[in-house]
Structure 1
Amino acid sequence: MRHNGCVSSPNFAGAVDLGAIAAQKDQQRKTDAAVEGAPAGLIIDATAANFQAEVMDRSMTVPVILDLWATWCEPCKQLSPLLEQLAAEYAGRWILAKVDVDAEQQIAAAFQVQSIPSVFAVIGGQVAPLFQGALPESQLRQAIDKVLEIAASQGIDGAVQGEEVSDDVDSELDAGDPRFDAAVDAIDAGDWPAARAAYRKILDESPADSDAAAGLATVDLYERTEGLDPVAALQSASSGEDIDAQLMAADVEALQGNWSACFTRLIDAVRQSAGDDRERARTRTVELFTVAGDDPAVASARTALASALF
């Protein structure tokens, strides 16, 4: 600009950052490409109306990461697309639930949000803060991997299958899956190694097959309790001090379908033990979550296990 015949230095204060705009557009292109082919259900808009079903209930089987954002928030414009890209990249190992704090003030108040973006993890119905502000991709991956590690330690390592394939899966299950025949025949014959091998073959082909995972854990349960006197096993655990006795008694209660007593026993063992004994109790609890499947006792037991561990 020229004043009185002199050229003054240009003032860029408040000028548009063209580099930042280009970076945002590049990130958005990457996000669009990653999300385009991702299964439905990986990224959801959480509201007060669907929060229980879409966030809390689903966190019992798949960890959920909450992104609290707003349209006017500049750091949100950097973080949210990156979270969407990673949600697609992780292919269903976790769910991204986005909360517009302006539209969902009830949720924002419940989480006592002071600044945005604010990111939380929900694992087994338990909410934990992760971070505030925008993180670089490397640190964001570390945070997500830590969430997955904690979730797995509680037996929460399911995966979103995607709505677009659900009809096909349902029809296959209704028709019966012949791959399971060998496992069932082996169980009927009491041939535990053969049954285990049959289920592992299915899992090698379909790692997210929950029926095969449950079958494998059930075979392990059958083998551990073969020839066991259930009355004697329960009596030997009455003192509550011997971890082996507690694990065996829990197996008996599992065979009886008494899941509430089984999980109460195991989680008490987690609380009261340490070191290898504590890890054995935790591992057995997670294994039996798989066997119990959708039993109502599982949801409360997951919450209790999370409390006992952390």
Structure 2
Amino acid sequence: MSTPASRPGPRLNLRGAVDLSGLANRPQRPAAPASPPGPGAGPGAGPAADGAAPPAAGPAAGDAPVVVDVTDADFASLVQLSAQVPVVVDLWATWCGPCKQLSPVLERLAQEYAGAFLLAKVDVDANPQVAAAFQVQSIPTVVAVLAGQPVPLFQGAYPEPQVRQVLDELLKVAAANGVTGRVPGAGGGDGEPAAPAEPPVPPLHAEARDAIARGDLDAAAEAYRRALAEAPADAEAAVGLAGIELRRRTRGSQAPEALAAAQAAPGDVEAGLLAADHQVLAGDAAGAFDRLVALVRTTHGDDRDRVRSRLVELFEVVGADDPRVAAARRGLAAALY
């Protein structure tokens, strides 16, 4: 395994070819008590001197609840947690120079984001099964896990502004997939008090999240519908349902084929709708909106209504406060009138 050569900028891709099912279903080993780091221990520190593996979801150096060390044996807990909180996985090794540059950046940003994602650090030499599951060819490699699915992020020691950009885009993709929780008990950074505890998750929301965790999108959609029937103003349920419906529409299809079909037949409404769905899932909301606004301009009657309705639904998924939504609303208005 070698450090990477120069690569193009990071690009989110929700349709990674990695299968995490073996890790997700692995029986978990009882966690050993965590050993305090010795003098000089840092991001590149290896396992504890006594050979005990750190506990799953246990704190890494600095007792930061948003940064954890994980192993082959306990990675399953992170796959399960990813149904509620985005998990960013830093794959590194003690001998890797670029890893020692990148790891502090990731840890600092994990603290700054204060629980919006969990940073999981994996020593690839000590944990070859996790490295193999992610098909790691060079390090550092950074991937994410959302709702049990891998999201390739980037390879190499990217500078902090680019890493921050990738993380911001990841959180948008997470929201589009209904993964909007926070790391329990995460604080606000050095010397700052912990964030207030989140209110209890409503039962139907919890039911939907459990269904997402086991891959039952139909049950998750039904739970969110029941929540909306009980409380029509439940904005979180509305966003969750929109995200689940997005994933249900794209189930069984692949982004490259969908995008190629839409490009080959730009006036095909079905192809355009599916391509736009895949673009939103991959974080390219602006591209999806542009595609659908262009379809609105060239369609009429029922087809135009379908495209407009889908565009409004995707606005819900991305979020009304997103500047891309505001720009697309203006474009839609111009196309309609």
> What TM-score, normalized by structure 2, do the two folds share?
0.43
> What TM-score, normalized by structure 1, do the two folds share?
0.47
**Is the radius of gyration larger for structure 1 or structure 2?**
1
